[in-house]
Chain A
Amino acid sequence: MAKLRGRGYASVNYPTGMNLGGDPSQALIHATTTGTFVVSLSSVDLGQGLKTVVAQCAAETLGLPVENILVDTADTDTGPHCMGTFASRGTHRVGNAVIMAAAEAREVMLAVAAEELEVDAGDLETDGTGFVQVTGAREKRIHITDLALAAHFTHGRTISGRGIFLKEKNDPVPETGEMDPDSCQAHACTVAVVEVDDETGVVEVLRMHNAYEIGRALNPAMVAQQVEGGAWMGMSHALFEATEPYYPARDHGPTDFNEYLMPGAADIPEYHNAILERPAGNGPFGAKGIGEMTANAPIPAIANAIFDACGVRLDTMPFTPERVLRGLDELRADRSPTKE
């Protein structure tokens, strides 16, 4: 009886957005007289961090600190339309809409600053700390708070902008499947190292190496969150999860967290991750969506590692101890090395 080690590989791509019905999202942005910009959306943050990432997009575009941005979202009375959070579309669609809105607002902001400073708007830049200044001339500058007040009380202007991203409707050709469903593709290659206990059938994932290409890492710490959380979910799908463990039989369905098994904090492997950036021309600062894909490559990587470890090819998910043991029994019964 032994613990058998194996290594498995998987490489995948994943589409950003899934469009067939037309896929728009809108953003509105306006400055209050405090110099704070409010981004109005109806988009939903599921915990992936949309609110943070769109604030970054607005701040970068306006040239202001992220502290000057407030994101007000998910009230259908006050936020413009968004299709919703799914299909790895949030960062891409909403990010683009926010950039467009912020760019329009920036133009007004610079126009008002030009009047205040009595220079040409083309000669102005933002310094990233809250000032608009004459390019290269720090002493000639105005703070966004003064600017916002002046716009409202002196110039009668709203520093505001409208943005939309639309992926146009596309109908698949029924005969051939020709279609344009997505905006770009992100990429990943996962290498999983597992240990299979040939007595109990238990598979332990020891290490996962993940190389991702995601266009642009808008917030590297949140990218790390997605990669690690997704790898965990992929491992969980691979080894444990099923609402119908003996599918297609409907019996033995788990009803709570005691029966629906998932790896706990004690079961997590060592992760080694790396990010590549090949910015997408149509992405916000080049970003592609990676929220969903991080769970994908780990599953086949683990299946392939199990085969590498013990010669059992699991073609049915999840890879439970029962399935591993049945596979080992079959191998022992039929020691023909030509199985694969």
Chain B
Amino acid sequence: MASQVVNLRVNERSREFLAAPGTSLLSSLRDTLGLTAAKRGCAQGGCGTCTVLLDGRAVMSCLVAVQTVDGASVRTLEGVARDGALDEVQSAFLEGFATQCGFCTPGMIMAAEALLDRNPDPTRDEVVEAISGNVCRCTGYGPIVDAILDAAARRAKA
């Protein structure tokens, strides 16, 4: 198997790069494209710190072989703020003290973005379900769930 040229639309920009077989989407984002918001907490699908949106769905990018998603569109935390302004989820996390070490935050926010895109008015249980693949070792989850609900409320008002 040979390296292959991969085209992705990342945060609305076309990116073309060479990927060796087996290279994960996470590694391409971080190591090739220099987009380091997505984190590598386990590289085996267990922690959710690498969560990004792939064609609008939240995926664990460490589990996606990048050669298999040629042509897809990808959204990472770097692409969430618009014109330098935080979006509702980011603001809610910031003001709600939903971050401690911050290592889980990019994955949590992307999982929340995916949820709110498809369900703008989620219940608490739906929020819990949406982040069930994301580990946080610091916060005890409560402030994160609250922040996502708060973000939904902010978005409804906007």
- Residues in chain A within 8 A of chain B (CB atoms): 46-49, 221-222, 224-225, 228-233, 256-258, 262, 264-266, 268, 271
Shortest Cβ-Cβ A-B pairs, 9 listed: A47-B101, A232-B140, A257-B46, A47-B100, A265-B141, A265-B128, A229-B140, A228-B140, A256-B46
In the complex, which residues of chain B have a beta carbon less than 8 angstroms from the beta carbon of A264? 128, 132, 141
Residues of A within 8 A of B138 (CB): 47, 225, 229
19 contacts between A and B (CB under 8 A): A47-B100, A47-B101, A48-B100, A222-B97, A229-B138, A229-B139, A232-B140, A256-B42, A257-B46, A257-B47, A258-B46, A262-B135, A262-B137, A265-B127, A265-B131, A266-B129, A268-B140, A268-B141, A271-B142
In the bound complex, residues from chain A placing their C-beta under 8 Å from that of B46 are 256-258
- In whole angstroms, what is the CA distance A233 to B103 when docked? 17
- Min CB distance A213 to B, Å, is 21
Measured in the bound complex, the distance between the Cα atoms of B46 and A232 in whole Å is 19
Whether B32 is near chain A, meaning CB under 8 Å from some CB there, is no
CB of B139 within 8 A of CB of A228, answer yes
Cα separation A316 to B102 with both chains bound (whole Å): 33
> Given known contacts A46-B101, A224-B97, A262-B135, is B42 in contact with A268 (CB within 8 Å)?
no
Determine the chain B residues whose CB is within 8 A of the CB of A257 once the complex forms: 42, 46-47, 135
B residues in contact (CB < 8 Å) with A? 42, 44, 46-47, 97, 99-103, 125, 127-129, 131-132, 135, 137-145
Question: A265 touching B100 by the CB < 8 A rule?
Answer: no
Contacts of A268 in B (CB 8 A): 140-142
Residue of A nearest to B46 (CB): A257
Q: Are B140 and A233 in contact (CB under 8 A)?
A: yes
Complex partner residue of A47 from B102, B131, B132, CB under 8 angstroms:
B102
Within 8 Å CB of B142, what residues of A?
228, 232, 265, 268, 271
Smallest CB separation, A147 vs chain B (Å):
32
Contacting residue for A265 out of B42, B47, B99, B145, CB 8 A: B145
Q: How far is the CA of A47 from the CA of B100 in the complex (A)?
A: 4
| Shortest beta-carbon distance from B124 to chain A in Å | 9
Once A224-B97, A229-B138 are accepted as A-B contacts, the answer to whether A266 and B128 lie under 8 Å apart by CB is yes
Q: Which residues of B contact A230 (CB under 8 A)?
A: 140
Bound-state Cα–Cα, A43 to B110, Å: 31
Minimum CB–CB distance for A14 against chain B, Å: 18
Chain B positions within 8 Å of A46 at CB level: 101
Q: Are A265 and B144 in contact (CB under 8 A)?
A: yes
Q: B140: which A residues are within 8 A, CB to CB?
A: 228-233, 268
Given A225-B138, A229-B138, A232-B142, 14 additional A-B pairs, CB 8 A: A47-B101, A225-B100, A225-B143, A230-B140, A232-B141, A233-B137, A256-B42, A257-B42, A264-B128, A264-B132, A265-B128, A266-B125, A266-B129, A268-B141
C-alpha gap A271/B142 in the complex (Å)? 10
Q: What's the nearest-Cβ distance from chain B to residue A197, in Å?
A: 20
Chain B positions within 8 Å of A265 at CB level: 127-128, 131-132, 141-142, 144-145
